[in-house]
Amino acid sequence: MPSSITPQQLARRLGLPDTPVLVDLRTAEDAAADQRLLPASLRRDHRDVASWAPGFAGRSVVAICQKGLKLSEGVAAWLRHEGAQAEVLEGGLLAWAEAGLPLIATRHIPARDAAGRTLWVTRARPKVDRIACPWLIRRFVDRDAVFLFVAASEVQAVAERFGATPFDMDGTFWSHRGETCTFDTMLAEFGLSSPALARLAMIVRGADTARLDLAPQCAGLLAASLGLSRLHRDDLAQLEAGMALYDAFHLWCRDAIEETHNWPGPGAR
C-alpha cells in the first residue's frame, strides 16, 4: 500500500463515514505556534507511540507532523507494525495550510473526558439542528463525541452535573444567533469553511427556521427529518439514521449539484 497521501487526496476523504483517523504528532512548540487542527484529528505524542499505537490496529490512520518528515514517518511505520493501515500526510500541516484546506480552531472545543471524547447535551426529540450539529461534530470535530438527549427542563442541570456542553438551547453559547441556526454557529466558531459546508448550512438554516425559500432542498431536508423523528422513538437511533442523511446531503453539496436525472433517457423508446 502507499505510505503517503497528498493534502488534496486527504481533503476528498474528509467528512465521510470512513475518513481515516487523523493523528497530529506536532511538537508542543509547533502546536503552540499554530493551534489549529485538521478536522476531527487527535493529538498524540510520538514519544509514547509504543503505548497508544496498538489501539489503532486494523484501522486506517494518517500521521501528521509539521512537515511530513521524521515524526510522521516514524509513527506511521510503528502503526503499521501494530497492524494499522498508516500513511503520512505529505508536507504535513504546513502543506495542508498552504493549500487553503480546512483547519479547526481549537479554542472552543470542549474538554475531553477520560476516554478522550467530548460530551454534549441537548433537548430530546431532535428534528433538524439537533441532528445536523452532531453530524458536523462527529465528521469534523470529534468522531467519538457523545450526545445526551434529555428533557428540555433538565439540559442545564445535566450539563453541570455531567460536564457536558449544552447546545441548541436559548441562552447557551452554541445556539441560534440572529437569523442563523446552531449549525451556522458551529461552522463559524470552529472556523470551518468550504463551499459544500456553506451550501449545506443554508439548507439546514432554511429547514430549521421555517424559511424553505432559502434553497429548494430545504423542504426535502425538513420532510426527511420529520419522517425520521416519527420513524424512530429512540433519539440515538434517529441520530444514527440522520448521520447517513447528512452524509448524503453533504456529498450532494460537494459533488452533485449540477447533476440531473430524467427518465426515459435520450434515445429511449
- pLDDT computed for residue 184 by the predictor: 98
* pTM, entire model: 0.94
Domains and CATH numbers, the chain: 4-98 (3.40.250.10), 119-256 (no CATH)
- pLDDT computed for residue 1 by the predictor: 47
- pLDDT computed for residue 89 by the predictor: 98
**Sorting pLDDT into bands at 50, 70 and 90, what band is 264?**
confident
**CA separation, residue 242 to residues 18, 105, 170 (Å):** 16, 25, 23
Task: Convert the pLDDT of each residue in 12-55 to its tens digit.
Answer: 999 999 999 999 999 999 999 999 999 999 999 999 999 999 99
Task: Convert the pLDDT of each residue in 172-205 to its tens digit.
Answer: 999 999 999 999 999 999 999 999 999 999 999 9
- The sheet with strand 42-43 has its strands ordered as 4-5, 85-89, 60-64, 21-24, 42-43
- pLDDT computed for residue 269 by the predictor: 58
- pLDDT computed for residue 266 by the predictor: 65
Q: Would the pLDDT of 2 be above 80?
A: no
| Mean pLDDT computed over every residue of the chain | 96
- pLDDT computed for residue 265 by the predictor: 67
- pLDDT computed for residue 239 by the predictor: 98
Q: Would the pLDDT of 268 be above 70?
A: no
Q: What percent of the chain has pLDDT over 70?
A: 97
Task: Convert the pLDDT of each residue in 70-112 to its tens digit.
Answer: 999 999 999 999 999 999 999 999 999 999 999 999 999 999 9
**Sorting pLDDT into bands at 50, 70 and 90, what band is 262?**
confident
**Sorting pLDDT into bands at 50, 70 and 90, what band is 66?**
very high
Task: Convert the pLDDT of each residue in 124-150 to its tens digit.
Answer: 999 999 999 999 999 999 999 999 999
